[in-house]
Amino acid sequence: MRLVRNKKHIKDAEELNITAFMNLMVILVPFLLITAVFSKIAILELNIPKGNSAANKNKKPELQLQIVVRENLIDIQDGNVGLIKRFPLKDRETNWKSMSDLLVQLKNKFPKKDNVTLLVEQDVSYQLMVKVMDKARTATIIQPGLTTESMDLFPSISIGDAPAFVAGGKK
């Protein structure tokens, strides 16, 4: 018996048309490479405030620096002693130089202290909160006749909710 092969059933393999896919890759790859340069993320490292342990209760109380940011004022206070200085806010602005000078004085008095707790009310804008964090983190020192230099103040920042405000002090 002889097998008859039908020539209609034998076909050559067709070429895969990848022109459209190659055009897509030619456009997509440079686009992704270009946009990757512009998508940088800034990260602020924050810490959770530490609780008081039994070992810390026997020691002399140290500075527990707190900056309380409210809608109309900024308080710099010691968690053990209380209010150190109050800076009124008007249109999200205050005497930033005076606040920075006070933080520099505190850093000079407690040079090993590097943490601060930032207590913020709910209605405070994000921009104001970041500005206060920047002021607490570093200070620019300008000395006449010398170059300006940057001083690290309190780089370790913890964030929490501000306590309710009472006109005579804190609640």
Q: Is the dihedral of CA 64, 67, 68, 74 positive or negative?
A: positive
pLDDT value at position 49? Answer: 60
pLDDT value at position 67? Answer: 92
Contacts of 109 (CB under 8 A, 6+ apart): 63
- Tally Cβ neighbours within 10 Å of residue 11: 7
Q: Rounded to an integer, what distance in angstroms lies between the CA atom of residue 143 and that of residue 146?
A: 5
Report the side by side order of strands in the sheet with 156-161.
46-47, 156-161, 115-120, 65-69, 73-78, 82-88
In order of 48, 121, 137, the CA distances from 71 in angstroms are 23, 7, 21
Are 158 and 137 within 8 A, CB to CB? no
Q: What is the pLDDT along the chain (171 residues), one digit of tens a residue?
A: 555 555 556 666 777 888 998 999 999 988 888 877 665 566 666 666 666 555 555 566 788 899 999 888 999 998 888 889 999 988 878 888 888 889 989 988 988 888 899 999 988 888 889 899 988 898 887 766 666 667 788 888 888 888 887 765 544
Are 50 and 163 within 8 A, CB to CB? no
pLDDT value at position 23? Answer: 92
pTM of the model: 0.61
Residue type, 166: V
Q: Rounded to an integer, what distance in angstroms lies between the CA atom of residue 156 and that of residue 153?
A: 9
Are 89 and 74 within 8 A, CB to CB? yes
Residue type, 51: G
Full set of structural domains in the chain with CATH: 46-50+62-165 (3.30.420)
